Structure 1
Amino acid sequence: MTYDEIAEMYGVTRGAVYLQLRDSKQTSKRPDHSKYIPWTVKAGHAQARPNAMLRLFSRREQGETLPEVKERMLDKWLAEIKEADVVVCYNREQVPNPASNTGGWYYSKRRPSDGTNLIRVDPDADSEPVIKTPNPQGSKSV
């Protein structure tokens, strides 16, 4: 039975089901995405496309089988990142930009020191987003 089914049965939220099961030690360990999302992300930035894609990438890297549609979304995004030659950066104070209409996330031109990494954690990362970058909807942009 899924969390959603249990929530509907008892008239509570999915989160309430999770918390109850967690507190009674009946849940599996939560996935750790800190390798690809090492920042403390503001709640208002959590639904941004770069965050969602990094979580999907982390899930894939940890061996989880993703639904086919999510695999396609992730593969498309990874191709866009590679073609644009950018890395994902995060700064809680970053204003809305092509990577995230809520701010926080932005794409920065890849540096030699980035290697093949998807992200740059360096606090001296560019504070301004690059001009040509994949937009939140996935098509080429500005």
Structure 2
Amino acid sequence: MIAPQKRRGSEPHPDTVRALVEAKRKLAGRALADIPDAELTWWLNDYLIPDGKGGERKLMRAELADLLGVTRQALHVRSKRSGLEVEQRRPDYSAYIPWQVEVAHTNAWWMQLLRLMAQADEAAAGRAQAKRVVNTVHAEAFRKKLHDSGCVVAYDPKRADPFYLVKRRPGVDTWWVAVPEAAMSEEQRHEWEKQRQE
């Protein structure tokens, strides 16, 4: 039996299972090395199966590997050697989060919320970086809290609690984080100097 990728504790939808059984029938007896690049590209990018929610989704790489009787690594190596797969890079949110965050703090609750807020802003701007829809309920609640309090998130790795809230500096803190002096633009630096003198 083919094992559709699923979340823990959930059963695959019967339509999804039927589609995978049909795909297995189409690929029966074929070796990964014998599949032409154009066809492999079709399987990787264009073959759609029911998602169990009334829509369709692409075949996951792990599912295709299972259908072909190979490991995911073998499928990845073949795809990469054939030029079918471009190395995916992690999203870069440095335009939003200008700090050099220490490794110990990268998965902190604060950072997760800021990354979700950045993903939502990227998606709203229609940028290619935001390819998936994110669950932004917590991020939007946090954004509202920051807006209502007039604060932004600051980061100091030397503190016991490295993330904390500070009052927004108008013209300096243009997003939801306190911009460190080293990362300020000339305009932000000028505005900050003006505010400190007042």
Correspondent of 1:57 among 103, 112, 117: 117
2:105 aligns with 45
What residue in structure 2 maps to residue 129 of structure 1?
A: none
**What aligned pairs does 1:37-116 form with structure 2 within 5 A after superposition?**
37-63=97-123, 64=130, 65-67=132-134, 70-96=135-161, 104-114=162-172, 116=174
Which amino acid in 2 is paired with 1:66?
V
The answer to whether the 8 Å contact 1:87/1:108 transfers is yes
Change in 2 beyond 3 A, CA 1:31/1:115: closer
Q: Which has the higher contact order (CA 8 A, sep 6+)?
A: 1
Q: Show structure 2 runs of 5+ residues with no match.
A: 1-59, 124-129, 183-198
Distance in 1 separating the partners of 2:103 and 2:180: 22
Report what 2:95 is aligned to.
35
Over the matched positions of the two proteins, sequence identity in percent amounts to 25
Closer, same or farther: CA 109–115 of 1 in aligned 2, 3 Å: same
Alpha carbons 2:152, 2:165 under 8 Å: kept: yes
Unaligned runs of 5+ in 1: 12-16, 97-103, 125-142
* Structure 1 counterpart of 2:175: 117
Of structures 1 and 2, the larger Rg is shown by 2
Q: In the TM superposition, what is the alpha-carbon distance from 1:2 to its structure 2 partner?
A: 5.8
Check whether the contact 1:88–1:108 (CA below 8 A) recurs between aligned residues: yes
Structure 1 distance, partners of 2:173, 2:112, is 22
CA shift in 2, pair 1:47/1:83, >3 Å: same
- After the TM superposition, which segments of 4 or more aligned residues of structure 1 sit over 3 Å from their partners? 113-116
Deviation at 1:123, TM superposition (A): 4.0
The CA deviation at 1:53 is 1.3
Higher share of residues assigned helix = 2
How many angstroms does 1:81 deviate by?
0.9
Maintained 8 Å contact 1:56/1:74: yes
CA contact (8 A) 1:45 1:105 kept: no
Displacement of 1:120 in angstroms is: 1.4
TM-score w.r.t. the length of structure 1 is 0.57
Q: TM-score, normalised by structure 2?
A: 0.43
Mapped contact 2:99–2:180 kept (Cα < 8 A): no
Q: Alpha carbon RMSD of aligned pairs, Å?
A: 3.1
